[in-house]
Amino acid sequence: MQTVESVIAGLNHWIETLPKELSRLQELEITERPLPNKWSKKEILGHLCDSAINNIERFVKIQYEEQPYVIQVYNQDHWVALQHYQETPLDEILQLFCALNKRAIHIISHIPAEKLASTCIIGNGEHKTLDWLLQDYLAHMEHHIKKQILA
């Protein structure tokens, strides 16, 4: 099990590394969709921004809302489509990714240790802790970055 410090270190790693890695790719590599109904690398990065937006709210609310806090799901495909990440300059999406994750780090670094046991109900009805949610956030990010964006 990761610690809060390792989640923060992981987020910092991708804030530093991802812009450098993406700068090595050609425009076609970033914008090409593997299939018509699949996201491009650029859209996947946009999805990670959407994930940050939604999870920042969760990281805050779970600390003060009634327990267990019920996680509201969001339609990921609609978020990506309606924000038009495919047409947005990559630098703009990267700046958003970095800014949102710096904000997430700030919030995470100020969570009192006792709040890490706060509970939530995720989409499938399972009960999880805030600590689990933090770790899952980084794992989700790394899955998309390692297996899709940089693959």
Mean pLDDT of the chain: 96
Please check the confidence at residue 46 and state whether its pLDDT lies above 80: yes
Pick from 11, 5, 2: nearest CA to 101: 11
The answer to whether the predicted template modeling score (pTM) of the entire model surpasses 0.75 is yes
Question: What do you get for the CA distance between the two ends of the chain, in Å?
Answer: 26
pLDDT of residue 1: 54
66 - beta bridge partners?
A: none
Q: What mean pLDDT do residues 76-86 have?
A: 98
Helices (H), 41-89: 41-61, 76-82
d(CA 2, CA 8): 10
Query: Assign residue 146 a region: left if phi > 0, alpha if psi is -120 to 50, beta otherwise?
Result: alpha
The domains of the chain, with CATH numbers, are 4-149 (1.20.120.450)
- DSSP class of residue 66 equals P
Pick from 86, 61, 135, 99: nearest CA to 143: 135
